[in-house]
């Protein structure tokens, strides 16, 4: 409870909201592929780890990042459930299926302690299978321009605020494993489903999320680097190297796509 009374938490929330809102606005305007490149950068998780580094030591960050690698596979469940349901169902059912899948898988993953090798095997196995199984949903669907609804900013702000508060409380009371899991909750993907799907349709939104699977490999790899580097050289070095990996991976995907064209 004392963490909620900390005035610094308002600064955390404000900073995170600015970053997430800016990134998700850019994601909407760039189409499925480029939008997915923005969405899979650590735009919500990154600020949260910076705040955790301020509040806790490097070992806490390292342990949280290891669980983050494992928990990122729950985002695969989020994307899979949404891609399937969104083809025929409206926004609410698509969101409900995706979010329920994330929480169930995240809870199951919490039931054991993972080594880095186990985490990597699970991570790359799940992503490889998902990229192959969901490839039929990767289509270039043009979004129809529609007026922005009034609750856009409020929704995104509320989502980010909830995750920042949850990770702050978890960091103080539940430990690094729960914190690392909550930090990977797909804030940007959730806001995109709730805001884009009513305007652009299920296939467009599903395509954007499925396109994000390859980008999320860089995100998970960045967490792995954060885990190793924080334990060896401290939180600042770990955060810097992790961010470099995430950005470098997505730049590589973009250049590969340009070369293939």
Average pLDDT over residues 65-87: 95
CA 58, 61, 66, 70: dihedral to nearest 10 degrees? 180
Under the phi-then-psi rule, with left for phi > 0, alpha for psi from -120 to 50, and beta for the rest, what region is 185? beta
Query: Residue 154 above 50 pLDDT?
Result: yes
pLDDT in tens, 34-73: 777 777 777 777 777 887 888 788 898 999 999 999 999 9
Give the number of other Cβ atoms within 10 Å of residue 203's Cβ. 16
Instruction: Name the more confident of 42 and 129.
Output: 129
Does residue 137 contact residue 118 with C-beta atoms inside 8 Å? no
Residue ranges per domain, the chain?
2-260
Query: Residue 102 above 90 pLDDT?
Result: yes
pLDDT of residue 199: 77
How far apart CA 90 and CA 99 sit, in angstroms, is 14
pLDDT of residue 5: 42
Does residue 153 contact residue 105 with C-beta atoms inside 8 Å? no
Q: What is the DSSP letter of 145?
A: P
Give the number of other Cβ atoms within 10 Å of residue 246's Cβ. 26
pLDDT of residue 4: 44
CA neighbor of 62 nearest in space, from 228, 179, 250: 228
Share of residues in the chain with pLDDT > 90 (%) = 39
Whether the model clears a pTM of 0.85, i.e. scores above it, the answer is no
Question: What are the residue ranges of helices labelled H in 141-201?
Answer: 152-173, 176-183, 187-200
pLDDT in tens, 201-236: 888 889 889 988 998 999 999 999 999 999 999 999
Does residue 185 contact residue 163 with C-beta atoms inside 8 Å? yes
Average pLDDT over residues 182-187: 82
Does residue 156 contact residue 191 with C-beta atoms inside 8 Å? yes
Average pLDDT over residues 165-182: 72
Average pLDDT over the chain, rounded to whole? 80
pLDDT of residue 242: 93
Query: Residue 20 above 60 pLDDT?
Result: no
Helices 8-29/152-173 angle, 10° precision: 130
């Amino acid at each position: 409870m004392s963490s909620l009374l900390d005035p610094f938490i308002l600064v955390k929330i404000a900073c995170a909201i600015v970053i997430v809102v800016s990134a998700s606005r850019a994601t909407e305007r760039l189409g499925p592929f480029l939008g997915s490149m923005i969405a899979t950068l650590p735009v919500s998780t990154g600020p949260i780890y910076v705040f955790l580094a301020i509040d806790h030591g490097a070992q806490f960050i390292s342990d949280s990042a290891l669980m983050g690698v494992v928990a990122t596979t729950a985002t695969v469940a989020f994307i899979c459930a949404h891609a399937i349901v969104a083809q025929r169902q409206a926004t609410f059912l698509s969101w409900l299926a995706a979010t329920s899948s994330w929480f169930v898988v995240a809870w199951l993953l919490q039931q054991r302690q993972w080594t880095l090798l186990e985490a990597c095997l699970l991570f790359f196995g799940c992503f490889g299978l998902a990229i192959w199984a969901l490839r039929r949903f990767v289509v270039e669907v043009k979004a129809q321009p529609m007026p922005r609804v009034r609750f856009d900013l409020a929704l995104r702000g509320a989502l980010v605020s909830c995750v920042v508060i949850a990770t702050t409380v978890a960091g103080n009371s539940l430990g690094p494993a729960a914190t690392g899991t909550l930090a990977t909750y797909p804030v940007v993907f959730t806001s995109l489903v709730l805001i884009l799907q009513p305007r652009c349709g299920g296939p467009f939104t599903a395509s954007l999320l499925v396109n994000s699977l390859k980008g999320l490999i860089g995100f998970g790899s960045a967490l792995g680097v954060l885990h190793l580097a924080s334990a060896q050289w401290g939180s600042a070095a770990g955060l810097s190297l992790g961010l470099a990996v995430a950005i470098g991976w997505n730049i590589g995907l973009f250049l590969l796509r340009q070369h293939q064209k």
